Amino acid sequence: MIKKNAIYLIIGLAIISLLIVFFRIGLPRFLNTPYRHLRSQGQPLTITDVNLIRDWMVFNYLNKVFNLPTDYLKTKLDITNSDYPNTTIKKIAAEQKISSTAYLETVKEAIAQYLTSKSSLLPDKPQH
């Protein structure tokens, strides 16, 4: 009986260890796959990447990966939540009583507008 319990204990600990490894290493890598390559090169995301935004993302992350001024989205979207920028799109949508899908589109549009206006300020590339 003791040997059987010891085997169950070892199997249980092995399963727990695998779950810990997955949730600490595997899951974050899986969730960040679209961004990891671009961020590892030190390049901010561009207007073509706006569709990668999800409602579970926090504004602080969006500010960093799209190289936005810290308060740009707060001002543009009239966010008054004191947790900004460390709050999710979904939470702000709920506070503003808007569907997270509709608010997500608003966030994407605001970021696209900023990136478009920023790119229009850049000098034209010389043609050869």
Q: Are 110 and 76 in contact (CB under 8 A)?
A: yes
Asked whether 64 and 86 are in contact (CB, 8 A), the reply is no
Compute the average pLDDT of residues 49-61. 92
Task: List the chain domain ranges.
Answer: 1-31, 44-120
DSSP 57: S
Residues 6 or more apart from 101 whose CB is under 8 A from it? 55
User: pLDDT tens for residues 5-37?
Assistant: 888 888 988 888 777 766 666 555 555 555 454
Question: Residue 48 — very low, low, confident or very high, per pLDDT cuts 50/70/90?
Answer: confident
Buried b (16+ CB within 10 A) or exposed e, 45-84: bebebbeebebebbbeebbbbbebeeebbbebbebeeeeb
The percentage of residues in the chain with a pLDDT greater than 70, rounded to a whole number, is 75
- Amino acid, res. 118: K
What is the pLDDT at residue 37? 47
Question: What pLDDT is attached to residue 38?
Answer: 46
For residue 89, give both structure tokens.
């799109």
Mean pLDDT, the chain, whole residue set: 82
Residue range 38-57: mean pLDDT, rounded: 79
How far apart, in whole angstroms, are the C-alpha atoms of residue 111 and residue 96? 19
